[in-house]
């Protein structure tokens, strides 16, 4: 049990791993991958979907909040379904 917990903690906290060919691989957990995704996608959405700077910033923030809100809603929905 303890060993398993340690293994889980290690897999959550490490940020890179080297495979047999020596290639370094970036390891992101699901949440941090979702945050990075939301951040960059929101920037592009903000710039391309609005006409002036103020609206771009507002829409970009709106998209970011919606992306993250969606992550939390989906997370809680899956938690409820699992019970």
Partner 1 sequence: MANSTAEKAKIDAAPVSMMSVLAPALGWLIPGAGHMIQKRWIRGALLFISIVTMFLLGLAMQGRIYKANGGDILDILGFVGDVGSGGLYLLTLANDWGQGAIAFATADYGTKFMIVAGLLNFISVADAYHIAIGKKQ
Residue owning tokens 């060993």: 3
State yes or no: residue 40 binds partner 1 (CB under 8 A).
yes
State yes or no: residue 71 binds partner 1 (CB under 8 A).
no
Which of these segments, 2-10, 15-23, 67-75, binds partner 1 (CB under 8 A)? 15-23
Burial state string for 11-30 with b = 16 or more CB within 10 A and e = fewer than 16: eeeeeeeeeeeeeeeeeeee
State yes or no: residue 65 binds partner 1 (CB under 8 A).
no
Q: Which of 12, 31, 36, 55 binds partner 1 (CB under 8 A)?
A: 36
Residue owning tokens 């990075």: 36
CB of 3: closest distance to partner 1 in angstroms? Answer: 20
**Token pair recorded at residue 44:** 């592009």
């Amino acid at each position: 049990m303890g060993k398993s917990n340690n293994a889980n903690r290690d897999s959550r906290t490490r940020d890179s791993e080297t495979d047999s060919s020596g290639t370094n691989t970036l390891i992101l957990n699901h949440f941090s991958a979702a945050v990075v995704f939301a951040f960059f996608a929101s920037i592009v959405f903000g710039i391309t979907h609005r006409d002036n700077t103020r609206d771009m910033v507002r829409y970009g923030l709106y998209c970011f909040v919606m992306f993250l809100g969606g992550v939390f809603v989906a997370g809680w929905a899956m938690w409820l379904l699992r019970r």
